[in-house]
Amino acid sequence: MVSLSKNQTVSLSKQTSSLNQLQFGLGWDPLKKKKGFLGGLLGGGGNDSIDLDAGCVLLDRAGQTIDTIWFRKLKSSCGSVVHMGDNLTGEGDGDDEVITVDLTRLPAQVEYLAFTVNSFRGQTFNEVDNAFCRVVDQSRKELARYQLTEQGSHTGIIIASLARNNGEWDFTAHGKASTGRTIDDMHSDIVATVVR
């Protein structure tokens, strides 16, 4: 498994012998509020739930959107990308939301898959802790992981992308902040970040 830093790229094809099915696990936790007298007065103590939404945009070479998969559309029109369901709290260990990709069924014009996390409710990444994105192959082997280290007042993030590279697939950790509360609001930031 390769642990990536912001803006690093790894070839997934070199990490495994056969690359057919991928799972993109996205996770996060609510930031633990300070406890104690002042924390209680200021609304601290205990965890609030964080409802972040994972999404995936399929783009062609020019950055035009082919399809968008998110909590309002859980399966791509081609059937190759499937969102496994919305997590409303961010509680628990491991992946909070999972998007599967069948590379064998992905249309040839799809050049990029951009993975995003955004807050439809407007909660900011100052309220989020331990956000990550990881890639797992069909044998359940973890190929790459990106741990997001920055927080901020933004409501969205282009966390990572998958790109075709001469018949192979490259995974890039982005960690690019965006102000979008929905995946559609983030479109211009997605194209600027992902398309080479």
Q: In this predicted model, what pLDDT tens digit does every residue of 160-175 receive, in sequence order? A: 999 999 889 999 999 9
H or E element in which residue 192 lies:
helix 187-194
**pLDDT the model gives residue 196:** 85
Please report, in angstroms and rounded to a whole number, the separation of the first and last CA atoms in the chain.
25
Neighbours of 193 (CB within 10 A): 21
* pLDDT score recorded for residue 87: 59
Q: What is the pLDDT at residue 160? A: 95
Q: Which two tokens stand for residue 125?
A: 């990444």
Strand 168-178's sheet: what is its strand order? 9-11, 168-178, 156-165, 112-118, 53-59, 65-69
DSSP state of 180: -
Where are any strands of DSSP class E within 50-155? 53-59, 65-69, 81-83, 97-102, 112-118, 128-137, 142-147
The pLDDT assigned to 41 comes to 47
Query: Of the candidates 28, 33, 50, which has an alpha carbon nearest to the alpha carbon of residue 121?
Result: 50
Q: What are phi and psi of 30, to 5 degrees?
A: -65, 140
Task: Give pLDDT, residue 70.
Answer: 93
pTM above 0.75, yes or no: yes
Residues whose CB falls within 8 Å of the CB of residue 17, separated by 6 or more in sequence, listed in order: none
DSSP-assigned states of every residue in 4-28: EPTT-EEEGGGTSS---EEEEEEEE
Ranges of residues in the chain with a pLDDT under 50 are 41-47, 90
10 neighbors 146 (Cβ within 8 angstroms): no
DSSP state of 33: P
